[in-house]
């Protein structure tokens, strides 16, 4: 398996992975990444300054991804870990931690001081991973992500 930067040809595949997970988990579609208008154009979105999106490729097939970008309507020193989703066949392989670390390394190089994320309360495995990496729960959302269904918010200091 390989972690690499997203390419335009990956747009459809990563959107399909993300939507499939929402169906698999019977997760809310409204107020989450599922309903993001940008979901089908992630390559283009992550061409913005101080942004990057990585995909995990397994035998030529995109099976997951994660990105980092400036927090929408947030302080310039705050980035957001975004759209971390993995197909069932690669969960538990350690690639989630590897891809998050790549995102956090990128964020530090870009001068971000804090990384923010939000998730759904029942995504407990992801929350355990985030805590192991050093994220801590906070009491309220930051910025304006549009993800009103996400009720768990976390941050990690990068400096």
Domain count within the chain: 1
pLDDT of amino acid 144: 81
Interval 20-48: pLDDT, tens: 988 888 876 877 777 778 899 999 999 99
Tokens standing for residue 156: 């990690």
pLDDT of amino acid 42: 97
The continuous run of DSSP H or E covering 68 comes out as strand 61-70
Domain CATH number, residue 79: 3.40.630.30
Reported pTM: 0.93
pLDDT of amino acid 101: 97
Its domain, for residue 83, covers 2-157
pLDDT of amino acid 150: 86
Question: Closest by alpha carbon to 99, among 112, 88, 83, 110?
Answer: 83
pLDDT of amino acid 35: 76
Q: For the chain, which residues score pLDDT lower than 70?
A: 28
């Amino acid at each position: 398996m390989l972690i690499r930067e997203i390419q335009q040809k990956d747009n459809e595949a990563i959107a399909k992975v993300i939507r499939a997970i929402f169906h698999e988990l019977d997760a809310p579609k409204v107020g989450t990444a599922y309903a993001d208008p940008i979901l089908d154009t992630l390559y283009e979105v992550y061409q913005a300054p101080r942004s990057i999106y990585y995909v995990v490729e397994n035998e030529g097939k995109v099976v997951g991804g994660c990105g980092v970008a400036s927090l929408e309507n947030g302080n310039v020193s705050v980035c957001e870990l975004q759209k971390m989703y993995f197909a069932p066949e690669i969960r538990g392989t350690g690639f989630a931690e590897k891809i998050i670390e790549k995102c956090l390394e990128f964020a530090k190089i870009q001068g971000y001081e804090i990384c923010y994320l939000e998730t759904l309360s029942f995504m407990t495995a992801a929350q355990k991973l985030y805590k192991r990496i050093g994220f801590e729960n906070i009491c309220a959302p930051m910025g304006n992500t549009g993800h009103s269904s996400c009720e768990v918010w976390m941050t990690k200091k990068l400096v």
